[in-house]
Structure 1
Amino acid sequence: MARATSFPRIPPMNELLDAAAERGLAGGREAHRAALAATLDRLRSDCRAGTARELDEGFWQEVDDRLQVLPAMRLREALNATGVVLHTNLGRAPWAPEAIAAAQAASGAAVLEVDPQSGRRGRRERAVSALLAEITGAEAGLAVNNNAAALTLAVAALARGRSCVLARTEMVEIGGAYRMPEVVRSAGARLIEIGTTNRVHLRDYAAALEDPDVGCVLRVHRSNFELHGFTGEPEAHEIAQLCRERGVPLVYDLGSGVLRGAGLPGAEEEPSVAAALQAGCDLVTFSGDKLLGGPQAGLIVGPKPLVEKLRSDMLTRSLRLDKTLLAALEATLSLHALGEEHALARVPALRQLALGVDELAPRAEALATALVAAGVSARVIETAGRVGSGAAPIRDLEGRGVLVEPPAGVEIDAFARALRMGRPGVFARVQDGGVVLDLRTIDPQRDAELQALVIAAAKRA
């Protein structure tokens, strides 16, 4: 067993904090305190293990290293230069200014579950429910914390202790090993699988509905992959009519959240909520932070009796949104309620999807010119962006960006890391020996900031 060495003299924390400030270490006093405490713990542990330690330059380098690493582990602002509009790892849809303002207004006391006219208790998502009904044409709506929760709630409320029908063509898996068969089982329902991997027929649904224990039929939009070749499946309206004849509700998980428009730029083939309802689907679930362009939420629309059945289920309270997200969602839906053109102009994710080469090319030229003038190797290139978050998986979004080469002697991965570690961090694609900055997903008002961050990273790498 190693013999402990003597501890060095450790000054009071206030003296160490003053020394950290004099050295100009990154972060404020509380960050310095946390890094110093962790480094002192390591020093004491080393001394107990027999390793001699001093409060020398090595000690202060360790403190500085901790200060550099700790912020990278925190939730912080980033610039999305990947060209993927709904980048899951970067938080999906950026919020509209109206949504940000609404969330800030709701951060204190807010009119959440009270009727201001009567002073009596009200329902927390009453405005969201009304907006969902107005926009989609449904009788009622409900919001929970994400689409996975919305789907789980729908299956649980309708088929808990009973059976749920799902075609094998739609047994999808999304990120995090989230698989539809497991979702059905976790909701307390027994899964009835129908059809084959590539084909399912209306007669398969009809045969399954002979079972009187079926609580619901589930249809899932294959948003993150496509089937080609010898494939086939009935249309939504055909399944809906059959379910209506048998008295069994049809739940359609759309996922991406196109509200009512056809031809949304970059996602023309994505089905809309309004179309699913018009086809006769009883309940439709979709996300708030994908093609709706709002905060994370799971939205459910359909006939009032069914929506109320879900609202009164024991799971609903566990899945509800907090007041700030509810406020941001209400503000986003209000933009959609003003019309599709207004939403395209005001919702950032939709605006980014609609950007054309004619708008992106001048920005790319200006950025590349400024970087070259600052001594950074850069040139304009064609880019192929994506919608992201599983929507329109094989559709490219033609655009323009800037390919930035790392400084001489610097590895490309080190340069990309320097960009990510900036304040804010810049996340881009590594391609063709450089870093590609796709301007589709950068707010034009932040082009100058992006330029400064790239120049700083080139010097720091």
Structure 2
Amino acid sequence: MKKNEVLRQIPKIDEVLKEHLFSNAFEKSGRDVVTSVTRKVIDEVRAKILALGDNELEHYDIKKLSISRIVDEIKDRLEADEVNHLHGIINATGTILHTNLGRAPLCEDAVHNVEMVSRGYSNLEYDVKLGKRGSRHDILQDLMVELTGAEDVMIVNNNASATMLVLSAMAEGHEVVVSRGELVEIGGAFRIPDIMEQSGATLHEVGTTNKTKPSDYEKAINENTGALMKIHTSNYKIMGFTEEAELDELVAIGKEHDLPVIFDMGNGLMVNLAEYGLDEPNVPASLDTGIDVILFSGDKLLGGPQAGIIAGKRKYIEKMKKHPLARALRVDKMTFAAMEETLKKYRDTKVAMRDIPVLRMITTSREVLLEKAMRLADKIRTANSKLNVKIVDADDQIGGGSAPMVFLPGVAVAVTSAEVTTKWLERLLRKHEIPVIARIHEDELLFSVRTVLERELDDIAAALREVE
């Protein structure tokens, strides 16, 4: 058969679109989308035929060009297009703030408030009482002042943005004194020196990688110094022969020389979790030192949406609110909605521990984890009796660049199969309708239950049911 004869067998776009099987697709996706996908499929079929050699053309299956086969391909494409690129997954890794998996899951009230605010209009920048324009900066002001004791607060879209804004507003054209041991790199090769350069401030390094004394900051102060800055090295720890200036020591130096002190805290911890092995600075205690400005993340140990929160002395925060960068870095109504409900939980520590998923996961006892692991193991055995299932101890982590040296004693369900490899199991779960992300340890697939929500136990069992 000649190539031209085969090409003539390709149905025309209009003929394909007349198929009654597309009536639902027109309604759901729209005629323009269906037409576009149809054209793409037919163009690909034509291109494949044109690329065939004589021998391949001789054995070409002409049935592939039937309208029904092409319609099936178009419908498959349309179904694939309906799957969102961003979707939910099950985190069974035991890493609580897993950056690749979206960090902190929101509390239920935050989710409901986002839905309510997003469904219609809101008073984002409207003062309902006065009937005139308001400011989005006022939405969290009273609540954050109550919780932290700061004079004023503002919120931007992440902590890197907060760093940029703080430095631009407080130290543009001036030097900022920072310990050499605190020049951190955030994920994605995002470095403090680079942020400082972009802000217009000049970095003045002091001390050494492992040792920086209060006197090092004092010696560095000159007529062009704009601020002293301390950065919490949350994603690494220098051990051994070390020394660093404490926050209250820097505050004293700042007061003596009439210089503001900035603390880039990062993690956003609002409560003391030392009894759970988490010896990290927290926001209220840091502000109690008299620090001028503190900045931290909303989606790390605070347990809220992605955001950068800046708190401190009013004269500095007001300057930031009026800065040109403030509009470029501001957050939307959904972030405010989620953050407000998250912060309200902190009015009572017990409520925060109970309702905020990140805090609940960190503080869950081994007994509770063991009970959950037993329930998951039973569900897996019921779903698929061919699998080898047992309960093991596991080391869980905080993640998200927080407390890298802290390992939480966890419990996991270990699964193996005599029929397939553990790597194959892991891949199968990732491809499930609701992807399950687990980890392989010593050739066993581990499901760390600390990060698995109660409602997800059945989903994991359902995914493993498919293993032959």
Fold in common (TM above 0.5): yes
Q: Give the whole-Å Cα distance in 1 for the aligned partners of 2:24 and 2:389.
A: 37
Matched, 1:363 2:372: yes
Residue 14 of structure 1 corresponds to: 17
Matched, 1:191 2:203: yes
Residue 316 of structure 1 corresponds to: 326
Partner amino acid for 2:203?
L
Match of 2:423 among 410, 413, 421: 413
- Deviation string 1:42-62 (CA, Å, 9 cap, x unpaired) is 323334445667672997897
Cα distance change on mapping 1:84 and 1:116 into 2, 3 Å: same
Partner amino acid for 1:18?
L
Whether the aligned pair in 1 keeps the contact of 2:88 and 2:434 (CA below 8 Å) is yes
Whether the aligned pair in 1 keeps the contact of 2:139 and 2:336 (CA below 8 Å) is no
Match of 1:44 among 46, 52, 66: 46
Whether the aligned pair in 2 keeps the contact of 1:260 and 1:272 (CA below 8 Å) is yes
What is the DSSP-based 3-state SS (H/G/I as helix, E as strand, rest coil) of the residue aligned with 2:404? coil
Matched, 1:248 2:259: yes
- Deviation string 1:252-306 (CA, Å, 9 cap, x unpaired) is 111111124342735x211011121112221111010111111000001001111
What is the DSSP-based 3-state SS (H/G/I as helix, E as strand, rest coil) of the residue aligned with 1:286? strand
Match of 2:280 among 261, 264, 270: 270
- Cα displacement (A) at 1:215: 1.7
Cα distance change on mapping 1:414 and 1:41 into 2, 3 Å: farther
Residue 110 of structure 2 corresponds to: 99
- Deviation string 1:182-221 (CA, Å, 9 cap, x unpaired) is 1111111111111111111212111211x21122222110
Residue 90 of structure 1 corresponds to: 101
Residue 167 of structure 2 corresponds to: 155
Residue 303 of structure 1 corresponds to: 313
Q: Give the whole-Å Cα distance in 2 for the aligned partners of 1:6 and 1:419.
A: 41
Moved more, 292-301 or 273-282: 273-282
What is the DSSP-based 3-state SS (H/G/I as helix, E as strand, rest coil) of the residue aligned with 1:359? helix
Partner amino acid for 2:286?
A
Partner amino acid for 2:159?
N
Q: Give the whole-Å Cα distance in 2 for the aligned partners of 1:96 and 1:273.
A: 20
Q: Give the whole-Å Cα distance in 1 for the aligned partners of 2:254 and 2:139.
A: 31
Matches within 5 A, 1:423-442: 423-442=433-452
Partner amino acid for 1:92?
R
Q: Give the whole-Å Cα distance in 2 for the aligned partners of 1:223 and 1:74.
A: 31
Match of 2:350 among 334, 341, 346: 341
Matched, 1:56 2:64: yes
Whether the aligned pair in 2 keeps the contact of 1:283 and 1:303 (CA below 8 Å) is yes
Partner amino acid for 1:197?
T
Residue 353 of structure 1 corresponds to: 362
Partner amino acid for 2:116?
A
- Cα displacement (A) at 1:335: 1.0
- Deviation string 1:107-148 (CA, Å, 9 cap, x unpaired) is 120111111111111111313122111111111111000011
Match of 1:225 among 233, 236, 240: 236
Partner amino acid for 1:56?
K
Cα RMSD over matched residues? Answer: 2.8
- Cα displacement (A) at 1:389: 0.3
Extract unaligned runs of 5+ from structure 2: none
Cα distance change on mapping 1:34 and 1:195 into 2, 3 Å: farther
- Deviation string 1:356-411 (CA, Å, 9 cap, x unpaired) is 11001122122223322322221111111111101110111112111111461x33
Matched, 1:137 2:149: yes
- Deviation string 1:10-38 (CA, Å, 9 cap, x unpaired) is 3544357838999xxxxx86798776554
Residue 110 of structure 1 corresponds to: 122
Q: Give the whole-Å Cα distance in 1 for the aligned partners of 2:367 and 2:273.
A: 23
Matches within 5 A, 1:276-295: 276-295=286-305
Whether the aligned pair in 2 keeps the contact of 1:261 and 1:340 (CA below 8 Å) is no
Q: Give the whole-Å Cα distance in 2 for the aligned partners of 1:150 and 1:353.
A: 26
Partner amino acid for 2:444?
G
> When the two structures are aligned, how many residues end up with a matched partner?
447
Matched, 1:444 2:454: yes
For normalisation by structure 2, the TM-score amounts to 0.88
For normalisation by structure 1, the TM-score amounts to 0.89
- Cα displacement (A) at 1:102: 0.8
Residue 454 of structure 1 corresponds to: 464
- Cα displacement (A) at 1:40: 3.3
Whether the aligned pair in 1 keeps the contact of 2:10 and 2:42 (CA below 8 Å) is no
Matched residues, percent identical? 33
Whether the aligned pair in 2 keeps the contact of 1:17 and 1:32 (CA below 8 Å) is no
Whether the aligned pair in 2 keeps the contact of 1:140 and 1:303 (CA below 8 Å) is yes
Whether the aligned pair in 1 keeps the contact of 2:16 and 2:71 (CA below 8 Å) is no
Residue 392 of structure 2 corresponds to: 381
Residue 207 of structure 1 corresponds to: 219
- Cα displacement (A) at 1:8: 3.9
Q: Give the whole-Å Cα distance in 1 for the aligned partners of 2:337 and 2:274.
A: 28
- Deviation string 1:219-243 (CA, Å, 9 cap, x unpaired) is 1101011111111112111111101
Moved more, 198-207 or 41-50: 41-50
Q: Give the whole-Å Cα distance in 2 for the aligned partners of 1:419 and 1:278.
A: 47
Residue 175 of structure 1 corresponds to: 187
Moved more, 257-266 or 66-75: 66-75
Residue 77 of structure 1 corresponds to: 88
Whether the aligned pair in 1 keeps the contact of 2:434 and 2:459 (CA below 8 Å) is no
Cα distance change on mapping 1:47 and 1:356 into 2, 3 Å: same
Cα distance change on mapping 1:193 and 1:33 into 2, 3 Å: farther
Q: Give the whole-Å Cα distance in 1 for the aligned partners of 2:208 and 2:20.
A: 66
What is the DSSP-based 3-state SS (H/G/I as helix, E as strand, rest coil) of the residue aligned with 1:219? strand
Partner amino acid for 1:247?
D
Q: Give the whole-Å Cα distance in 2 for the aligned partners of 1:438 and 1:137.
A: 38
- Cα displacement (A) at 1:424: 1.4
